[in-house]
Amino acid sequence: MPAPHPDSSIRLEQVMSRDVKTAQTGTSLLEICRMMAQDRTGSVVIVEKNRPIGIITEFDVIKALARDPGRIGRLRARDVMTTPILYLPPDEDIRT
3-state secondary structure of 33: helix
Can you give the pLDDT at residue 31? 97
pTM for the whole structure: 0.80
User: 43 or 86: whose pLDDT is higher?
Assistant: 43
Q: Are strands 93-95 and 22-24 parallel, antiparallel or unpaired?
A: unpaired
Beta-carbon contacts of residue 43 (< 8 Å; ≥ 6 apart)? 21, 36, 55, 56, 57, 58
User: 82 or 16: whose pLDDT is higher?
Assistant: 82
User: 68 or 8: whose pLDDT is higher?
Assistant: 68
| 40-76 confidence digits (pLDDT tens) | 999 999 999 989 999 999 999 999 999 989 998 999 9
* Distance between CA atoms of residues 30 and 53, nearest Å: 19
CB-CB contact of 23 with 75 (8 Å)? no
| Average pLDDT along the chain | 89
